[in-house]
A and B are shown apart, each in its own frame.
Chain A
């Protein structure tokens, strides 16, 4: 009769058990990592002289997308979706490039900080509109993507502006070893500095809570509206970081948004974040971005049409996610 109680109380949680559970909980990320390693080995096979230079190129091209994926992951974890990430990246990119046109290095740093604050602000505007109007996230952020894209064109109607040299210097070179590109190191450092304390804070918990079950979160004492606004503000902050990364990488401002929005959604899904919210983290999406970038590189090495790379990315997305849900289904049946 204690049937319901047994499974919970069973077993003393020894180290083996804990390890097994850790593997099971992170199985998706481990699988992604294995996939990435396979891809890198494959790359080395088809291009024997692939080395530090290749990794450097990979880091430079992936930096902005990694930040965009983290921005999207935070929103999706808290149960939303942000379709304005690409537009926010373009907007912050042109604001930074335009402002740095006449500035010296010192004001340049101030400008960078100002751009980050701007990103948080416009992200918070997205969130506040969603909370106050109660219109679905997908619609509000789609509408706001037009607004921010328009604002970007108002600032700069054609590509222009310039990036400070201290900023562009961040996008090249390496630290410690030639295998660790400086942009990759910086991006990961920034993400770690923001994400790890956040994850351990009550706010981080609240982000997962509202994504998991809004009603239960509300009943547990979480301020749902405020947490949602904060999640969008964080997405804005990471979009602004991505905007700065684009500025550093290209040295100019480009008012037209690249394909960051939808690729970030793809990376989030591939990275094991549940679109229903509440599950996943930022590590998976980061690895997913690397996978997508390596595939593109391989296509180039294989001398295939680059449009084919886009097709492949789509196919891989569907196959991997399908494989994942099949595995989950089988586990549930077992």
Chain B
């Protein structure tokens, strides 16, 4: 053992883990000094969550060593990890939904007084411990989770996307408390997608890519660039849109819109939305959370009926009573939530061919040969990594999303509705999906794309409409629709109005997402504790039943 390793609080190296054919980690390492707040970064699918599970004993590594204070400390269970001094706060709360908070504390042998102290620090001084965890709002549960972990005073505290589900003011509190851990006895491993948080509280950052540690960066001004570079590796640059493709998309005078809405309304959420999208065009839709875009897409996909207004397909009125009507009219829907669209326990083949089974063989057995050909073409076209294709749930999120798209593209696309199709997908797959959407448009499809990532608009769209309060408040040419302009329009501000400060801070970080920007907007309007479903935490491949 050399001197340098003796000084380390946590020293993990050469960690590898494969689930069958899918390699989650090849060679991950992490070295954390005492009193350090250390960021663990990586694009989706880089292996961060598997790494965290291995460190905390929830999953056993195939190879590798983990040392705490120089002693071999490969934990065999979360309880074991806690005994060794390593405590984790996971993405979803690890509280038992049916037990009250006090019982939850008792379960982890958490001393109550320090717990109270940390709750206080985190802005929840009066929390009633006899509440059932299920009755506590999700954001507060995360705070409880964190306070519980802090109260145990672990050597290493692992925070996995701790701030993801928190409103802005709580995020600030949490960052403040974690920041104050710097220079203390213990260390913190901090995982977050938000670069500003990393810059604000972390000393160093370890970057994972494709299951291996590719670099350790000292966090300082300007290190963001370096981190992003490491996270991405070499990616296929998205080609600038050529004038040619723009011209192709430019509609001829007098052309009929492929899909149009006239005065669509639904209850109080959607008041009056009209739009048209032409063949060969990608029309962007931008809105803060809950401005009626969900209802709009549900109407267009045939899932709900509008309370007024009409839908025109190729110029003639269409009435969708059921999604099947919309599909028959050529209007297909790609949801953000893959679980809504896929049969998770069935194969890639079945999932892709499911909507087409009707066209393959209306009666009688399915023509397997034709089906295989069709599926093969789709898999090639979208570059789906189908090694774990026997069950879709074992694919990565990005590959799952490709399957939901693949099922519609092989027979040619007429009109496609995409609702935030790149949510929670790694950058490489995102790029592939952007390219695919543009290729589809160039082949003559009309595409309506709602996205919460504003930079997608300029990359993919030709025009964009902005919805606020259930109405269209702006329509822009995509060339003019840079992030600040879109954000102003989304908040329904005048073009020269000042943005709230935190929103600007968000938009100057790596890529603006509206979800992050909406939090200050929506928080005051939703004071009631929505029923919290904390018990849903599926972990594909996770080895939990021990």
Q: Choose the segment among A118-126, A201-209, A299-307 that binds chain B (4+ C-beta atoms closer than 8 Å).
A: A201-209
Per-position binary interface string of chain A over residues 182-217, scored 1 when its CB falls under 8 Å from any chain B CB and 0 otherwise: 000000000000000000001001101101111111
The yes or no answer to A221 lying at the interface (CB within 8 A) is yes
Q: Choose the segment among A3-11, A84-92, A165-173, A290-298 that binds chain B (4+ C-beta atoms closer than 8 Å).
A: A3-11
The yes or no answer to A330 lying at the interface (CB within 8 A) is no
The yes or no answer to B70 lying at the interface (CB within 8 A) is no
Sample (13) of A-B pairs whose CB atoms are under 8 Å apart: A3-B527, A8-B127, A9-B124, A202-B106, A205-B107, A213-B98, A214-B545, A216-B93, A218-B544, A219-B88, A219-B94, A224-B544, A225-B545
Known contacts A5-B123, A13-B128: A216-B94 contact under CB 8 Å = yes
A residues 312-333 with Cβ under 8 Å of B?
A: 332
Q: B524, A1: Cβ atoms under 8 Å?
A: yes
- A58–chain B nearest beta-carbon distance, Å: 32
Q: A13, B130: Cβ atoms under 8 Å?
A: yes
The yes or no answer to B368 lying at the interface (CB within 8 A) is no
The yes or no answer to A80 lying at the interface (CB within 8 A) is no
Our pick among B77, B88, B98, B537 for the contact of A215 (Cβ within 8 Å) is B537
Q: B535, A209: Cβ atoms under 8 Å?
A: no
Per-position binary interface string of chain B over residues 510-524, scored 1 when its CB falls under 8 Å from any chain A CB and 0 otherwise: 000000000010011
Our pick among B96, B125, B169, B545 for the contact of A212 (Cβ within 8 Å) is B96
- B227–chain A nearest beta-carbon distance, Å: 29
In the A-B complex, the 6 residue pairs with the smallest Cβ-Cβ separation, listed nearest first, are A221-B79, A278-B98, A4-B139, A9-B126, A212-B98, A219-B94
A218 CA / B104 CA spacing, docked (Å): 12
B residues within 8 Å of A by Cβ? 56, 58, 77-79, 82, 88, 90, 92-99, 103-104, 106-109, 123-128, 130-131, 136-140, 166-170, 520, 523-524, 526-529, 531, 534-535, 537, 539, 542, 544-546
Known contacts A211-B98, A220-B94, A332-B531: A5-B170 contact under CB 8 Å = yes
A225 CA / B544 CA spacing, docked (Å): 10
Chain B residues, Cβ within 8 Å of A202: 106-107
Per DSSP, chain B at the interface is: loop
A222 CA / B58 CA spacing, docked (Å): 12
Query: Which A-chain residue is minimally distant from B96 (CB atoms)?
Result: A212
- A68–chain B nearest beta-carbon distance, Å: 24
Interface range on chain A: under 10, 10 to 19, 20 to 34, or 35 or more?
Answer: 35 or more
Chain B residues, Cβ within 8 Å of A216: 92-97, 534-535, 537
Per DSSP, chain A at the interface is: helix
A134 CA / B103 CA spacing, docked (Å): 28
Given contacts A209-B99, A216-B96, 12 further A-B contacts (CB under 8 A): A1-B167, A4-B167, A5-B123, A8-B124, A8-B128, A209-B96, A212-B535, A213-B96, A215-B94, A215-B537, A217-B96, A222-B107
Chain A residues, Cβ within 8 Å of B528: 7
A212 CA / B166 CA spacing, docked (Å): 24
Our pick among A2, A213, A219, A332 for the contact of B78 (Cβ within 8 Å) is A219
Chain B residues, Cβ within 8 Å of A2: 123, 169
- B386–chain A nearest beta-carbon distance, Å: 26
Per-position binary interface string of chain A over residues 1-27, scored 1 when its CB falls under 8 Å from any chain B CB and 0 otherwise: 111111111000100001001000000
Our pick among A212, A213, A215 for the contact of B542 (Cβ within 8 Å) is A215
Chain A residues, Cβ within 8 Å of B106: 202, 205
- B147–chain A nearest beta-carbon distance, Å: 12
Known contacts A7-B137, A8-B140: A221-B108 contact under CB 8 Å = yes
Chain A residues, Cβ within 8 Å of B108: 220-221
A214 CA / B137 CA spacing, docked (Å): 21
Query: Which A-chain residue is minimally distant from B122 (CB atoms)?
Result: A5
A202 CA / B497 CA spacing, docked (Å): 58
Chain B residues, Cβ within 8 Å of A4: 137-140, 166-167, 170, 523
A212 CA / B94 CA spacing, docked (Å): 11
Q: B526, A224: Cβ atoms under 8 Å?
A: no
Q: B123, A219: Cβ atoms under 8 Å?
A: no
The yes or no answer to A250 lying at the interface (CB within 8 A) is no
A8 CA / B138 CA spacing, docked (Å): 11
A317 CA / B520 CA spacing, docked (Å): 48
- B124–chain A nearest beta-carbon distance, Å: 6
Q: A209, B107: Cβ atoms under 8 Å?
A: yes
- A280–chain B nearest beta-carbon distance, Å: 9
Chain B residues, Cβ within 8 Å of A213: 96-98, 534-535, 537
